Amino acid sequence: MMTQIETILAGKGIYFLTLLLLTLGLYGIIVSRNYMKKLICMNIMQVAVIFFFLCFAQKNSGTIPVAMKHIVHAVEYINPLPHGLMLTAIVVSLGTTGVGLALLTRIKEKYGSIEEKDIIEGEKQFR
Amino acid sequence: MILTALDYRPGIIVLLPLIASCLIYVLGEHILPNYREAITFAAAFPMAALVYSMIPAALAGKEIGFTLLEIVKGVPLQFSVDAAGMIFACVASTLWIVTSCYSIGYMRGHGEKNQTGYYSAFAMCLTATMGLCFSANLLTFFIFFEVLTVATYPLVVHYRDEEGTRSGRKYLAYTLISGQLFFAGIVILYSFTGRMDFVPGGFVNTGDIPMPWMLAVFILMIGAGIVKAGVMPLHSWLPAAMVAPTPVSALLHAVAVVKAGAFCTLRVVLYVFGPEAARFCHGSEILAWMAVATILISSLIAIRKDNLKARLAFSTVGQLSYIILGIAILSPFAATGALYHIVAHAFMKITLFMCAGAIFVTTHRKNISEMIGIGRQMPVTMTCFTLASLAVAGFPFFVGFTSKANIIMGAISMGQPFFVATLIVSALLALTYLMPVVLLAFKRDFYNSQFPVKKEANLPMLIPIMITAACSLILGVMPNFGLHLYGLAAMAGNAIFGLSL
Amino acid sequence: MKNLPAYIVLLPLCSALLSLALSKIHKHLGRDVVFGALVGSLVLSVVQLVRVIQNGPIHYIFGGYKIPYGIEFSVDTINAVIVIMVCMLGVLSCMFAFNFDKNGDALQVGGAYTMHALLVLGMVGMTMTGDVFNLYVFLEITSLTAYCLIAMGGSRGIVSAFRYLLVGTVAATFYLLGVGILYSVTGTLNMSDMAACLKQGNNDSAMLMAMMFLISAFGIKMALFPFHGWQPSAYTHAHTGARPLIAGAMGKIPAYAMFRYLYCIYGKDFKYFRYVLLIIGVISVCGMIYGSVRAMAQKDIRKVLAYSSVAQIGYISLGFAIGSPLALAGAFLHMLGHAFMKGGLFFAAGAISWKYGTFDLNDFGRIYKRMPFTAGLLTVGALSMIGIPPTVGFFSKWYLACGAAQTHEYVYIFVLVLSSLLNAVYFFKVIEKVFVQADKNRKPLHPEGKGVTEAPITIMIPVVTCILMILLLGVFNVKVIDILLISLKGVAL
């Protein structure tokens, strides 16, 4: 019994962790009352997906995908593509966070707060 | 389907009022009213001439028309001229001229606002009506049917006041709902049969659609027609629409809208389903009994109305159900009668409405109880009113007689004594609600008190009244006079039931 | 012209990069460059459509890498038509935006047009790409620029943009998850290659999982019913100049991407395909009714139109859910038609607000006296939304209903009927306000003369073009449908 769980955890456990991270992020976005915290949770979510990609790109007995003389078979390298994709994803998430932060500073200027209830209160003043 | 000879006249007829409508909307506020009205006539006369020019071909049984383009995948936008469409087209195009002339008198005599919008929407209604007449398939028909629905709306809300708004909403609620259900019906029918074109005698075979569905489709499809035709219990938009100016009521009741409803029912029952299928799915029975109920109830309501226009409105509700009944009896005679009643009712009812409008513009009286002795002031108008009333009641030598006699003969030939009784009773009821108006108008005791001076309505109003009244007399004596309308009706009736003349 | 698909994307990209710099030289130089580039893209996209019709689909490969490894633009007749639609709306709304940049400094004006060009670029790229990850990149370009354009709409725009940013990022993350699952199953990112791999393997549960993520991702992006929460306030408070583009085109592109996943990548062989379609059908039906009901209660025309978008996007996904060739063609016709209807209505509303600074329906009383053209065009747009012939709204509804009848899903026909009646309720309310309701005292923002005074020509051209497109697409819908069916025949049910 224990060994079964162990094999599952050893093989798939990391996916549960990323799923947990994803859910945490989503939960945070929904529940937080502070917009800064929402933004942070959004970042956590993105990181979870990045982990997900990196996890399934891993394999046992593979090395980094830099061509070396004595290693000729593709099997012996890990797949570089998910890593490449995730570089792009990281850049995108950086951009999103940047825009988010810029918006937050503007919200702070206009409404004087980034708490949800203050913003909802403030929204009534504007058409 | 009969091969149609290529002929662009139907298309031009549809296009003429459309162009007029756009021109009036764009230029109306910038040019003198006389020029604006000139646009209307510049479209109306050529249109009528073109319609008349096609009568010989229609009488000879030739189908002329053309296909414009493929409007949706597999269905063309197609116009063709047949006898039934020709009748409606003749009536509508003739009465457009008459009503336009009358409108000028009424709108100016009454100092109405928003005249540009009025004439523009009016021309648009005629576009739609002409499109309906010459549509060769269901989809083309539906397109113009919806255009008519929308184009009538500005006329109903003409006064832009609280009451007008409310009537407009009511009108839209009834017509749009029924129109959308019509749409659903067309789609389902098309998916079962794969056909759209009108064929005399219908193209739906009794086995095409499983039974409960067939009745459902039938009801969906006639729904739009009977709402516009004001069959009870779906009539209540029609009296509400009475808030509009009188020429609009004349248009609604005599020329375009309710007739379009009746015509729609005719096309659906006799040219799509056909007598066989309509009888098979029991749809025609339901329709006939609804019509009978409407004829009786509406006459009884009309008796109680003091407002002249309201009384006429309920009279329309009843008279339109004659047409529906004539269609639902499913016999050649009744179909002929129904078609000819489109003509008959148009001339009779438009006379009555125009008289009511003339009285209103001249004396500002709406209610019958205030019109005692009005015959002294407006003898010509009231004489025409009397003639038209007699025609509505179906007196011999009036146009109403010819059509009703045909429907009654149809009912006899199908062995429906109750329908015969209904038609006769309703003729008496029509006398009961229209004669008091005439009698009060010519009541001697009040001659000098209320209406001392002889003062008719202005000429643009009076002349149309006299023309239509004369027509309802002449067409009664000689049903084939001029446009051979009776001949066309008989042709259509025979074609539907596969008889040769 | 071998690089045609690349040029269509590159032109707006270059102009976007130049716009800010050129704005430093002269305030309006940047915007002129962007406008020119968008017109160029439009012309090229028309050329591209002609070529696709003549020579069959174009597969453009970037950088010369072979197909499963490199990035590919694959253009068939469907997305060629959609690209034209996007470019056209881009050009029109760029022209429209000329009137709303009077009181910004050079940086703001230049920046706004940069965003505008990037938004068009993102949407065009999303439509043409044949690579699932490339689609993600373009999706993010679209989203980021949309956040900015919404945020430029003023104090409430910022908050709406921030909320959209949170939700939109969730959508992008879900999309990435879906792609991750599919990639881990197939090991490829190219759409056609992935489709081939998925057909061979037996991965139904993984595919279902990915599909659920993809539906929620695209659902959020296209504001499909349960995921629409961000949309009304975003459309309402967006920058006036960009609103027609955002409302008209932005929701359609994820819908097209969803179509691609459903029919081009998964295909009818997918074991749970029927269930997926049923789910999409149910949420579209709910959306069509919910959106219309909410729209009825609104007093602000922007909100009315925004909620009506929730309903109208349901028509498109309903077409996907029916799945017969006619219904799919109807969905795409509605996509095109609705872009011009919604765009046109927002242009017309913008014209009114340019003159009177109001979006409140109650201030629209008898506005037709002052602006007869705008009012007439508002009416045509509204009638098309309801589906009155001969506007395009009717014909797309016709194809959807015919498709539903073909597959014997009669419930959908009645939902279409019900939805157009609900549409009629609030659009006739608008028409009633414009034509019937008593005149209100409106204060003109710009000096105006007596009688008819329309908005300036740069506003009227977009309005008139949209309405002409509504009518032309309606009357000549068979041509469009024929073009669409060339590519649809292979994939539909």
**Complete DSSP assignment for B209-226:** S-HHHHHHHHHHHHHHHH
Phi, psi of B64 (to 5 degrees): -115, 155
**Which of B174-188, B444-458, C354-368 has the highest mean predicted lDDT (pLDDT)?**
B174-188
Cα–Cα distance measured from residue B423 to residue A112, given in angstroms and rounded to the nearest whole number: 80
Domain ranges of chain C: 272-493
Q: Which chain C residues in 337-396 lie under 8 Å from chain B, judged by CB atoms?
A: 366, 372, 376, 383, 386, 388-390, 394-395
Nearest CA in chain C to A114: C159
Lowest mean pLDDT segment, chosen from B34-38, B426-430, C403-407: B34-38
Instruction: Answer yes or no: is pLDDT of B500 > 60.
Output: no
Instruction: Answer yes or no: is pLDDT of B1 > 50.
Output: no
Nearest CA in chain B to C483: B73
Greater confidence, C449 or C47?
C47
Task: Give the three-class secondary structure for B7.
Answer: coil
Nearest CA in chain B to C382: B150
Do C321 and C263 meet the contact criterion of CB atoms below 8 Å apart? no
Cα–Cα distance measured from residue B55 to residue B45, given in angstroms and rounded to the nearest whole number: 16
- Which range marks the domain in which residue A72 is found? 2-123
pLDDT for res C493: 64
- The count of domains in chain A is 1
* Contact (CB<8Å) B71/C475: yes
Instruction: Answer yes or no: is pLDDT of C27 > 90.
Output: no
Amino acid at C14: C
Do B383 and B279 meet the contact criterion of CB atoms below 8 Å apart? no
Q: Is the dihedral of CA B321, B323, B328, B331 positive or negative?
A: positive
Tokens of B248: 């609009």
Instruction: Answer yes or no: is pLDDT of C46 > 90.
Output: yes
pLDDT for res B483: 75
Do B92 and B129 meet the contact criterion of CB atoms below 8 Å apart? yes
What would the pLDDT profile of C124-171 be if each residue is shown by its tens digit? 999 999 889 999 999 999 999 999 999 988 888 899 999 999 999 999
- Can you give the length of chain A in residues? 127
**B344-366 average pLDDT score:** 84
Greater confidence, B160 or C93?
C93
Lowest mean pLDDT segment, chosen from A2-16, A79-93, C136-150: A2-16
Nearest to C332 by CA among C442, C492, C455: C492
pLDDT for res B450: 62
Q: What is the overall mean pLDDT for chain B?
A: 82
Task: Give the three-class secondary structure for C192.
Answer: helix
* Contact (CB<8Å) B69/C424: no
Amino acid at B133: C
**B314-325 average pLDDT score:** 86
**C41-52 average pLDDT score:** 92
Subunits with 3+ C-beta pairs closer than 8 A to B: C
pLDDT for res C364: 81
Q: Which chain A residues in 89-118 lie under 8 Å from chain C, judged by CB atoms?
A: 89, 92-93, 95-96, 99-100, 103-104, 106-107, 110-111
Rg (CA), chain A: 21
How far apart are the CA of B192 and the nearest CA of chain C, in angstroms? 9
Instruction: Answer yes or no: is pLDDT of B6 > 70.
Output: no
* Contact (CB<8Å) C399/B73: yes
Instruction: Answer yes or no: is pLDDT of C122 > 90.
Output: yes
pLDDT for res B445: 65
C482 backbone φψ class: left, alpha, beta (φ>0; ψ -120 to 50):
alpha
| pLDDT confidence band for B499 (50 / 70 / 90) | low
Phi, psi of C453 (to 5 degrees): -135, 105
How far apart are the CA of A27 and the nearest CA of chain C, in angstroms? 11
Are chains B and A in contact at 3+ CB pairs closer than 8 Å? no
| pLDDT confidence band for B12 (50 / 70 / 90) | confident
pLDDT for res C449: 67
Residue B164 at interface with chain C, using a CB cutoff of 8 Å: yes
pLDDT for res C50: 92
Greater confidence, C115 or B204?
C115
The enclosing domain of A99 has a CATH number of: 1.10.287.3510
Report how far Cα B400 is from the mean position of its chain's Cα atoms: 14
Report how far Cα C238 is from the mean position of its chain's Cα atoms: 15
Q: Kindly list the distances between the CA atom of residue C48 and the CA atoms of C4, C52, C183, in Å, as whole numbers in the listed order.
A: 7, 6, 31
Q: Is the dihedral of CA C201, C204, C205, C210 positive or negative?
A: positive
Task: Give the three-class secondary structure for C220.
Answer: helix
Cα–Cα distance measured from residue A78 to residue C316, given in angstroms and rounded to the nearest whole number: 42
Cα–Cα distance measured from residue A111 to residue A104, given in angstroms and rounded to the nearest whole number: 10
pLDDT for res B449: 61
Instruction: Answer yes or no: is pLDDT of C307 > 80.
Output: yes
| pLDDT confidence band for C318 (50 / 70 / 90) | very high
How far apart are the CA of C8 and the nearest CA of chain B, in angstroms? 31
pLDDT for res C135: 92
Mutate to test the interface with A, among C170, C298, C361 (most CBs of A within 10 A): C170
pLDDT for res B413: 85
Nearest CA in chain B to C431: B154
What would the pLDDT profile of B251-268 be if each residue is shown by its tens digit? 766 678 888 888 898 888
Lowest mean pLDDT segment, chosen from B111-115, C31-35, C264-268, C463-467: B111-115
CB-based burial label for B436 (10 Å; 0-12, 13-18, 19+) = middle
Cα–Cα distance measured from residue B465 to residue B456, given in angstroms and rounded to the nearest whole number: 12
Instruction: Answer yes or no: is pLDDT of B10 > 90.
Output: no
Instruction: Answer yes or no: is pLDDT of B451 > 70.
Output: no
Q: Kindly list the distances between the CA atom of residue A40 and the CA atoms of A37, C155, C220, in Å, as whole numbers in the listed order.
A: 5, 23, 20
pLDDT for res C336: 92
Cα–Cα distance measured from residue B74 to residue B70, given in angstroms and rounded to the nearest whole number: 7
CB-based burial label for A40 (10 Å; 0-12, 13-18, 19+) = middle
Give the burial string for C342-360 (b: 16+ CB within 10 Å, else e). bbbbbbbbbbbbbbbebbe
Q: Cite the DSSP H helix spans in B281-331.
A: 283-304, 308-329
**Residues 6+ positions from B267 with CB-CB distance below 8 Å:** B84, B138, B141, B198
**C215-227 average pLDDT score:** 90
* Contact (CB<8Å) A103/C173: no
Per cent of chain C over pLDDT 90 is 32
Instruction: Answer yes or no: is pLDDT of B446 > 60.
Output: no
Cα–Cα distance measured from residue C150 to residue C234, given in angstroms and rounded to the nearest whole number: 6
Are chains C and B in contact at 3+ CB pairs closer than 8 Å? yes
* Contact (CB<8Å) B164/C436: yes
Across chain A, how many H-helices and E-strands are there? 4, 0
Nearest CA in chain B to C414: B184
Residue C176 at interface with chain A, using a CB cutoff of 8 Å: yes
One-character DSSP codes across C67-93: TTTS-EEEE-HHHHHHHHHHHHHHHHH
Tokens of B144: 């113009």
Instruction: Answer yes or no: is pLDDT of B447 > 70.
Output: no
Nearest to C310 by CA among C333, C282, C285: C285
pLDDT for res B448: 54
**A16-33 average pLDDT score:** 91
Nearest to C452 by CA among C371, C392, C376: C371
Per cent of chain B over pLDDT 90 is 0
What would the pLDDT profile of A47-74 be if each residue is shown by its tens digit? 999 998 888 888 777 788 787 888 778 7
Instruction: Answer yes or no: is pLDDT of B3 > 70.
Output: no
What would the pLDDT profile of C371-384 be if each residue is shown by its tens digit? 888 888 888 899 99
**B15-23 average pLDDT score:** 86
Cα–Cα distance measured from residue C366 to residue C371, given in angstroms and rounded to the nearest whole number: 9
Do C271 and C202 meet the contact criterion of CB atoms below 8 Å apart? no
* Contact (CB<8Å) B191/C420: no
Please report which helix (H) or strand (E) contains residue C58, including its range: strand C58-61
Nearest to B229 by CA among B308, B310, B143, B287: B287
